[in-house]
Amino acid sequence: MKMTFRWFGESDPVTLGAIRQIPGMHGIVTALYDVPVGEAWPLDAIRNLKITVESHGFALAVIESVPVHEDIKLGRPSRDRLIDNYSQTIRRLGAEGVPVVCYNFMPVFDWTRSQLAYRLPDGSTTLTFEDETIALMDPVKGDLSLPGWDESYTKDQMQQLIDSYNGVTAEDLWQNLAYFLERIIPVAEEAGVRMAIHPDDPPWPIFGLPRIVSNREQIERLLHHVDSPANGLTFCSGSLGADADNDLLAIIREFGGQGKIHFAHTRNILRTGPRSFQESSHRSSDGSVDMVRVLEALWETGFDGPLRPDHGRMIWGEQGRPGYGLYDRALGATYLNGIWETLDKTRTRG
């Protein structure tokens, strides 16, 4: 396992120098955040990003993410041109030695929460999702805002984008994903890049929009549709773990055993209702995900890829991007490294 840390570039209040001080840190997970979605990433910009990361003693371990344009998800005529641009980006990333690209196929909205600063009894704040609250929200009116979202849409553009999905079924979305995979995965395989799709977050439909990467059956369908070493999964314990029906250990053992887990997001959530949860510390006893067992399953299946602590609480008065503070994620990384080191020292694989 290679411990990594998410970094949002030079504007991130968490610096590479601070990340460097976390014990056992191998690589950085980042992206180019100023390239419009749908355009090919410039080779010079990729190279400069790699130089910056490596100058601090890190590997550029994962690009998270190369966003998929909505026209591709909708199957519009422009998708072939946009897929060509995406392919060019993958080739350029491969040429610079980037081993893994994390991406998602969620319509319109990336990961979604109903509150960014819910105060826990210990005084820290965390991200929450409450289905009842989301049901009353109107994203067009600006009820929703999250770090990392594309906030360049006007209200009219957002309404048009949501309206464009009227009548789009889960099967329609799946067929558009299949079309994308059939064209991108061969390019990635040739470029030496492993594509790792991120599960839906949360793993159920929101705002009437379909979700198609939410459970074991859906994951199996997409991974086997184009059966290639380059077609893999970002295993996210928090996203999949929000649905109590998802057997996380079985998912790891099945797809990890096939060598299909290329990247791991290990974070904990506390389920507070059938479709509600709050994010917790990474510790197993603080949430609904048994992180010790999750890492044990990854270890047993021979996982040797990048893994990162995911969303953390905001603790000790830290200000900044909700979910992406330094302190709690650093504690999470240390906790996860401790579990992994214990497995290495006390267990023997198969």
The residues annotated with a catalytic role in the active site are: 198, 236, 265, 310-311, 324
Helix (H) or strand (E) holding 32: none
Helix (H) or strand (E) holding 226: none
Contacts of 95 (CB under 8 A, 6+ apart): 43, 191
Rounded Cα distance between 294 and 301, Å, is: 11
Q: Which residue has the tokens 């705002």?
A: 207
Q: What is the dihedral of CA 135, 241, 305, 223, to 10 degrees?
A: -70
Instruction: Report helix, strand or coil for 182.
Output: helix
Residue 124: both structure tokens together = 């820290």
Instruction: Report helix, strand or coil for 192.
Output: coil
How much is the CA Rg of the chain, to the nearest whole Å? Answer: 19
Task: Fill in the amino acid letter for 71.
Answer: D
**How many of the other CB atoms lie within 10 Å of CB of 55?**
9
**How many of the other CB atoms lie within 10 Å of CB of 265?**
25
Residue 213: both structure tokens together = 């990467």
Kind of pairing, strands 276-279 and 269-273? antiparallel
Instruction: Report helix, strand or coil for 273.
Output: strand
In what side-by-side order are the strands of the sheet with 276-279? 115-119, 125-130, 276-279, 269-273
